[in-house]
Structure 1
Amino acid sequence: MQDFKRTALALLIGGIGGGLFFIADLPLAWMLGSMCFSTVAALRGVNLAVNGTLRKIMTAILGVMLGCGFSTDTLNAMSRWTGGLLLLFVSVALSMWLVYLFYRRIGKFDPITAYFSAAPGGLNVMYEVGEAKGGHGPTIALIHASRILILVMTVPMIFRYGVGFTGGGQTTSLFGSIQDVVGDGWLLLAALIGYIGGYFCRLPAYHLMGPLLATAVFQMTGITDVSPPMILVYAAQLVIGTAIGARFLGTRFRQIRHVIGLSFASTTLMVLIAAVFAFLFAETIGVSAAGIVLALSPGGLAEMSLVALALGIDVAFVSTMHVIRISLIIALVPMAFSVIERIWAKQAK
């Protein structure tokens, strides 16, 4: 009951923010509004939380929505994404190296905290492994949480008001159509297969990646070509945005402003790297510059994919790149640290 009350309060506050942003016609309104209002409330000590099961359900729905960004033409497009994968690898390595140096020399972090804070993704894994290895867990968690917050708050605004991007997101009706009932049934089946299959296959973020992959298969093979109704898009935005803000419960801005300032600077650096790569290689890869920026931006898998979905920017490409990015980071960053740790030990001798 206590968890229900905290979740209801969080969604009420987030819903007010989302509604106001929606009325103001701001981009990604339900996510940005709920995130801003819940963040302020959490920093002021309001006891907020978002039920974990609810968040997983909404994330699974998001996975289905992202999977609907694929089509029968996507397989042909994937053959042109080899250059995008190369850019992704270079971007992750370059970003992590530069940000590590930034945290060591400017932030004065210890090596372990700097290393796991510099990873451009994998909040939960970087926090858990980094703290277990001797890093400062709260700093690692705050760096990653604020990185996601900063990106989701700024990227849609920059696209809308900074560069005048006018691309549209999904155009389905608010509650769907009776003609889509059969297609919606296929999407529900894809969600269930993906969720369960992702869990047993131990996919990272299985509640998102499983439904995404299953739906993508259904779409690319032509089994269905419908999209979920917009009401589900708004609900996913509301829950995920509120959950981002609720992460800051128990912190005070005056206590964390230094760390958030460092996170803002490092996030800006990583986005600039993505923008430079987009400017140089968009035409070569055959993907829009906006799509490359979103694909290489170091936000959360769910959050940045939702930005692409809401803005209608190369959804299949962006979500695929983020799935690969998160998988690489979760698999390789802790493994690479074991090698680096042995090198440090030899140097200490």
Structure 2
Amino acid sequence: MTLPQTLRPSLITLLISVAGGGAATLLGLPAGWLMGGALAVTAAAMAGARVHVPDWLRNVTFVLIGMSMGASVAPDSLSLLASWPVSLAGLVLELLLIITLTGWMLARFFKLDPGTAYLSSFPGHLSFVMGIAAAGVGNPRQIVIIQVIRILMLTIAVPIGTVFLPIDHMAPRSPKSFLGIWQLLALASASIAVGLVFVRLKVPAGLVLGAMAAATAAKLGGLYIEAMPTPLVIVTFVLTGALIGSRFAGITRGEFLSAAKGGVIATAMTLGIVSLVALGVSQIVDMPYGQIWLGLSPGALEGMGALGIALGYDTAFIAAHHVIRLLLLSFAIPTVVVLIRRREAAAIAQQDSKSLSE
């Protein structure tokens, strides 16, 4: 296989993301490059096109997202720390509600086995969830479809919400100056280095968070005040959209349709829970409802971080809440799996006892 043939699916994927993002931007949709790209690549994947984002390009995307988030951190971000306990309490509450209610719904109304139902209900930590599913808990194909539907719907919901719902959001700051090429190279080098350290330490979303940590520390330390160049931000959004949409690669339409109804309803329930909890938090803390919503929403960190940049929100707040969500899920997922195993063992023992008595 020649190199051009190897690269062809990736190039096609990027072109589709550019076309979809460009169309959404021309229509005036918020975060158009991101939302439009994700939708276009998803549609192409479901239509049977070979969409693909290679690992190296995925890693580049993660670093770019982290750098962009760090460069977008407001100098007064630390002043919001006092209000975080309230939003973090809301985060814990919503996780309990989402896992309990959506897991019960999928098992009760869609007759999914407990492993599939509850692993599908976890709002995040997809790689961890799929690792457990691969070890024999639940149906991995159904789980990944429901989880990917969640990620896609959340990416789409926020920009649409800013158009049709009375959500207070900020216009992105108008930068007065942009990072030069040597500044970008220096920042990228530091971001990659810290990102690799985070990956080595097994920090969730290590490349994204490591790059953001480096870029944030440099900005708050006064090493730069300039913004990321606009073309580079657009490239980051296009790559992120392609990455989100490419997660549907390899899923047949039959598999998608069999799990889509449950996935859409579960995601709608998740959106409702997040919206209500965010509304409650917004009555107590003084920050935009949309920013709270993004911080609490259980989408992929790269997608939610990119949306935060596009909509002008405080990326430090958003990233911190997503990191804590992943840490909470790291403990919650094994705990729920143990409970499922015990429940299954008890059911088997009860059935065996009943058979012996007969």
TM-score normalized by the length of structure 2: 0.89
Give the superposition deviation at 1:327.
2.9
Alignment of structure 1 residues 63-74 onto 2, 5 Å: 63-74=66-77
C-alpha distance 313-333 of structure 1, shift in aligned 2 (>3 A)? same
Compute the displacement of 1:244 (Å): 1.9
Q: Residue 293 of structure 2 aligns with which residue?
A: 293
CA drift of 1:211 comes to 0.8
**Which residue does 1:96 correspond to in 2?**
99
Q: Name the counterpart of 1:198.
A: 198
C-alpha distance after superposition, 1:150-174 (max 9, x if no partner): 111222111123326562225347x
8 Å CA contact retained: 2:24, 2:36: yes
**What is the aligned-residue identity percentage?**
26
Moved more, 119-128 or 335-344: 335-344
Unaligned stretches of 5+ in structure 1?
Answer: none
1:91 CA displacement: 1.0
Once the two structures are superposed, the pairs formed by residues 239-254 of structure 1 within 5 Å of their partners are 239-254=239-254
1:65 to 1:331, Cα distance in 2 relative to 1, 3 A: farther
- The separation in 1 between residues aligned to 2:131 and 2:304, in whole angstroms, is 22
Partner of 2:170: 167
Native 8 Å contact 1:288 1:314 kept in 2: no
Q: Distance in 2 between matches of 1:62 and 1:229?
A: 13
1:132 aligns to 2:135 (yes or no)? yes
Residue in structure 2 matched with residue 277 of structure 1 by the alignment: 277
* Structure 1 residue 315: Cα displacement: 2.3
- The number of equivalent residue pairs is 346
Counterpart of 1:207 in structure 2 is 207
Letter in 1 for 2:165: G
Q: Which has the larger radius of gyration?
A: 2
Distance, in Å, in 2 between the alignment partners of 1:181 and 1:37 is 31
SS at 1:279 equivalent: helix
Where 1:167 maps in the other structure, the secondary structure is: coil
Residue 58 of structure 1 aligns with which residue? Answer: 61
Alignment root-mean-square deviation, CA: 2.2
Distance 1:335 1:130 in 2: 14
What's 2:12 paired with? Answer: 9
Cα distance in 1, alignment partners of residues 247 and 173 from structure 2: 28
User: Superposed, which structure 2 residues align to 1:1-349 within 5 Å?
Assistant: 1=3, 2-163=5-166, 165=168, 167-172=170-175, 177=178, 180=180, 183-184=183-184, 186-342=186-342, 344-346=344-346, 348-349=348-349
Q: Give the whole-Å Cα distance in 1 for the aligned partners of 2:161 and 2:72.
A: 23
Deviation at 1:117, TM superposition (A): 0.4
User: 1:71–1:170: structure 2 CA closer, same or farther, 3 Å change rule?
Assistant: closer
Distance in 2 of aligned mates of 1:90 and 1:53: 37
2:115–2:340 CA contact under 8 A, matched in 1: no
Letter in 1 for 2:40: F
Contact 2:178 2:227 in 1 (8 A): no
